[in-house]
Each structure stands twice: as C-alpha cells, then as structure tokens.
Structure 1
C-alpha cells in the first residue's frame, strides 16, 4: 500500500482514470503509482512508457493475471 507523510500534498479524486486496469507492457496515459491487482505489488510508471512486462513478477493461480491499476496520479500541472 502506498504511504505518505503529509496529506497536504495529496487530494482525493473520484476521476474515472483510477478505475481502469492495464495489462503488462501497456503504456499508461498518466504518470503515477500503479498497483498490481493480483498481488498488490506497486511500481512507479511514467506516462507513455510501458508498465512492467508479464515476467516482471510471478503470481500464484489464486492471484490471477498481472493487471495494473493507478492508485496515485502524479500531476505534472501543479495547482
């Protein structure tokens, strides 16, 4: 689970961008922290650069396939 020290740097959002899951090797449209929905491993990804490939880490059968979901969006346009 992603951790943070100060909530002053984070804003909660219900944007639909947080609902989409991405396959391994897919280039996400947003930079941020992505979480594998099967095993909960987290990675940092840059927009338009491929997420880790399928062989990045192994899953048990109960964890299903590797699928990445954005949990923290890195805003390049600070408010």
Structure 2
C-alpha cells in the first residue's frame, strides 16, 4: 500500500485516469505509482512508458492488471 508523510502534497481527485486498467506491455498516459489489482504490488511507471511485462507474474492468483494509484504531476514551466 502506498504511504505518505506530508498530506499537503497530495490532493484527492475524481479523475477517470484512476479507473482505467492497464495490462503488461501497454503504454501509460500518466506517470505515477501503479498497483496490481490482483495482488497489491506497486510499481512506478513514467509517462509514455510501457507497463513492464517481465516485472510481475501470477500463476494461481489471476491476471496481472494494473491501476493508477498515485498520479505524479509535473508543474508547468519547470
């Protein structure tokens, strides 16, 4: 489970981006922390990068399906 120390640096939003499911090999639209819906493991993926296909496997639990947990936002002009 993702953890944090400084609440002022996180904002709750109701974006559709958190509802989308990603399979290994798919290119993500948002940089951030992604959580496997099947087992709870977390990974960091850069914007425009593919979800690693070799990083994570299940044999008995079910398919590997990733979901955006924390969106990493870059401020304009930096």
Q: Do both proteins adopt the same fold according to a TM-score greater than 0.5, normalized to the shorter chain?
A: yes
Structure 1: runs of 5+ lacking an equivalent:
none
Structure 2: runs of 5+ lacking an equivalent:
none
Structure 2 CA distance for aligned equivalents of residues 57 and 17 of structure 1: 22
1:56 shift after superposition: 1.9
Structure 1 CA distance for aligned equivalents of residues 44 and 11 of structure 2: 18
1:13 has 2:13 as partner: yes
Q: How many residues align?
A: 76
| Match in the other structure for 2:67 | 69
TM-score normalised to structure 2 length: 0.89
| Match in the other structure for 2:37 | 37
1:56 has 2:55 as partner: yes
Of Structure 1 and Structure 2, the greater helix share is in 1
Structure 1 CA distance for aligned equivalents of residues 6 and 40 of structure 2: 23
4+ long deviations beyond 3 Å: none
